[in-house]
Structure 1
Amino acid sequence: MPATLKGTITIDGQEITVTNPEKPLWPEMGITKRIYLQKLAALSPYLLSYCRNRLLTVIRYPHGVPGMSFYQKNAPQPRPEYVKTAVQDGIEYIVLHGLPELLWLGNLAALEFHPSLHYAGSSLPCEWMIDLDPSLEVEPRIMEAAALVGDVLKSLGLSSVPKTSGATGVQIIVPVQQGITFEELRKTGHFIGRYVTEKRPDLFTLERLKKHRGDKIYFDYLQHYGGKTLAAPYTPRARPGATVSTPLLWEEVARNVSPLDYHLLNIEERLNRTGDLIAMVAPQPVGEIAAKLP
């Protein structure tokens, strides 16, 4: 990426217009649009792995954080010819392929990337993502909850990777073998969710309505349907601290790391050390477990 971003830049042969490069996007962190685009480019080899060829929803903050925001499902107009789209359920989604589209969205102040859990044109999941959603804005037990779920998965013979949501929660990702269905993931998730809520009713709940959860952590096994989205691994989040949704080592979970530890200003150094932790886990035989459940 060039050191100065004014007017246009050329990436992979595509010309991208950059407007207001010094606009503050995370003012308290000193992150301008120029810095954001540089960090987005550094994240792109990782972020694109989990957004490419999927139906993309972004959250845009035209005036930066904590200004007004809006979800954008339909691809905006006008848009460059290199930005490809796909239609599902009457919505024309952006389908990312490379860095030019990512930076074009970054220039539009798209600060969060929420891809579908399946590829465009497919009805099968790409991975299994268990969402642990705290009811409290600050939840000191979230890593304890993640470790318990990880232990249950391990007892079933499944390897998994925890990741911070970049907000308050944690997701646990299980790479899956091709051919498993969303129904099988929901079935297996319900089984594990019932187990952990019975084992630790003080910590977990399956209650969908937040107002009825008290201080418990919601084990969301119902997220897995076509068209549903979750924050992508490695997406920035429009939160104080410019946090990034970051895959973790289970050893880090045991040390009770904070989701606030990983942000746009230090994520590049971390990824240079760890690489993509999700890509290091082979597809897991979740379907074999689902087949044994009633």
Structure 2
Amino acid sequence: MPATIKGSITVDGHEIAVTNPEKLLWPECGITKRIYLQKLAALSPYLLPYCRDRLLTVIRYPHGVGGMSFYQKNAPEPLPPFVRTASQDNITYILLQELPELLWLGNLAALEFHPSLHYAGSSLPCEWMIDLDPSMDVEPRIMEAAAIVGGVLKSLGLQSVPKTSGATGVQIIVPVSPGVTFEGLRRIGHFVGRFVAEKHPGLFTLERLKKNRGDKIYFDYLQHYGGKTLAAPYTPRARPLATVSTPLLWEEVERNVSPLDFHLLNIEERLRSVGELIGKLPPQPVEDVIARLP
């Protein structure tokens, strides 16, 4: 944890006020703001690469999980001098670049970090992220669904990394080379989604309206537009058990691990054990697959 003085922490030469350090943010887990800031510092080498230079939306819970919350896109005022911003569509977004900004946001009870799928000032995606969204609060088939999609991607010559959303779903990440477009990702997403929905009609759906999905898992291929966001890898989530959006090994998916298995109280041990999984995977030839689509 960075050096501390009374009522503040000092990080990279920047003094950051810490208010109410003993406030419970995740009451069921006993996680106070002080503990949360310590966990954010530990997560920062893993979380920051997926937020840096992107348009950031956070979800703030001033009174902790279970209290009122709000999405924050516009940067709050006044801003510390070390916080950079970028504007798009008349919104001034925070750029979450380094640890001081992360801990400043943590002190504001930002419990979730949702970056854009593209860099600020760019119209091109950073990666292909398939979102598998359950219709039920508890979905025992989510890892089965992830394994099926991962198998289809592999048959197309594409390696991928699954991650828990930290809530109920799973996202599957495919690194892409510069030049792949959002339109191209929607095309290949629709192709893969339609394929798995036709092969497994009791498991997958492409129906956007949740009320019309029944108990099926939504294959969201329409997420890929400028300005859209998804929960960053390694972001905490404002769920009662303080779950963290955690990249997985495919062997873990096959073992049917639960998204509840990965949380703020054990994430450091996991990262020491398996390291950062997404960054190990090079860009995949997505553009070659897109070029072959009918």
Q: SS of the residue aligned with 2:280?
A: coil
Q: Is the 8 A contact 1:25 1:65 kept in 2?
A: yes
Structure 1 partner of 2:99? 99
Quick one: distance in 2 between partners of 1:39 and 1:119? 26
* Partner SS state of residue 278, structure 2: coil
Quote the Cα distance in structure 1 between the aligned partners of 2:5 and 2:129. Answer: 36
Q: Tell me if the contact between 1:5 and 1:21 (Cα under 8 Å) persists in the aligned partners.
A: no
Contact preservation (8 Å) 2:143, 2:257: yes
Partners of 2:139 and 2:6 lie apart in 1 by 42
Q: Distance in 2 between matches of 1:103 and 1:118?
A: 23
Q: Distance in 2 between matches of 1:117 and 1:24?
A: 31
Kindly indicate whether the alpha-carbon contact (under 8 Å) linking 2:234 and 2:246 is maintained by their aligned counterparts in 1. Answer: yes
Shift of 1:96: 1.3
Q: Which amino acid in the other structure matches residue 226 of structure 1?
A: G
Q: TM-score with structure 2 length normalisation?
A: 0.99
- Structure 2 vs 1, CA of residues 94 and 129 (structure 1 numbering), >3 Å: closer, same or farther? same
| Count of matched residue pairs | 294
Report 1:246-257 matches (<5 A). 246-257=246-257
SS at match of 1:238: coil
Q: What corresponds to 2:288 in structure 1?
A: 288
**CA contact 2:4–2:10 (8 Å) conserved in 1:** no
Instruction: Report the 3-state secondary structure (helix = DSSP H, G, I; strand = E; otherwise coil) of the residue aligned with 1:279.
Output: helix
> Which runs of 5 or more structure 1 residues have no equivalent in the other structure?
none
Matching residue of 2:277: 277
Q: 5 Å matches for 1:29-178?
A: 29-178=29-178
Deviation of 1:203 after TM superposition, in Å, equals 0.1
- The 5 A counterparts of 1:6-25 are 6-25=6-25
- Distance, in Å, in 1 between the alignment partners of 2:4 and 2:250 is 39
Deviations 1:168-217 (A, max 9, x none): 00000000111100000000000000000000000000000000000000
Corresponding letter in the other structure for 1:281: L
- Give the Å deviation of 1:86: 0.4
Deviations for 1:53-97, whole angstroms, at most 9, x for unmatched residues? Answer: 000000000000111000000000111011110000110000111
Q: For the residues of structure 2 that align with 1:260 and 1:76, how far apart are their CA atoms?
A: 32
> Is the 1:42–1:268 contact (alpha carbons within 8 Å) kept by the matching residues of 2?
yes
Residues 5/38 of structure 1: CA separation in 2 closer, same or farther (3 Å cut):
farther
The question of whether the paired residues in 2 share the 8 Å contact of 1:75 and 1:92 is answered with yes
1:5–1:18 CA contact under 8 A, matched in 2: no
CA contact (8 A) 1:6 1:21 kept: no
Q: Measure how far apart 1:5 and its partner are.
A: 6.8
Distance 1:220 1:228 in 2: 12
Given that 1:166 and 1:237 are in contact with CA atoms closer than 8 Å, whether structure 2 keeps it comes out as: yes
- What residue is the counterpart of 1:186 in the other structure? 186
TM-score, length of structure 1 as denominator length: 0.99
SS at match of 2:55: strand
Deviations 1:103-162, CA, capped at 9 Å, x for gaps: 000000000000000000100000000000000000000000000000000000000000
Letter in 1 for 2:152: V
Q: 1:5 touches 1:34 (CA, 8 Å); kept in 2?
A: no
Q: CA deviation at 1:14?
A: 0.9
Query: Residues of 2 paired with 1:31 and 1:234: CA distance?
Result: 17
Q: Is contact 1:134–1:218 with CA below 8 Å preserved after alignment?
A: yes
Counterpart Cα distance in 2 of 1:283 and 1:121: 21
After the TM superposition, list the runs of 4 or more consecutive aligned residues in structure 1 that deviate by more than 4 angstroms: 2-5
Among all aligned residue pairs of Structure 1 and Structure 2, give the percentage whose two residues are the same amino acid. 82
The aligned amino acid for 1:79 is L
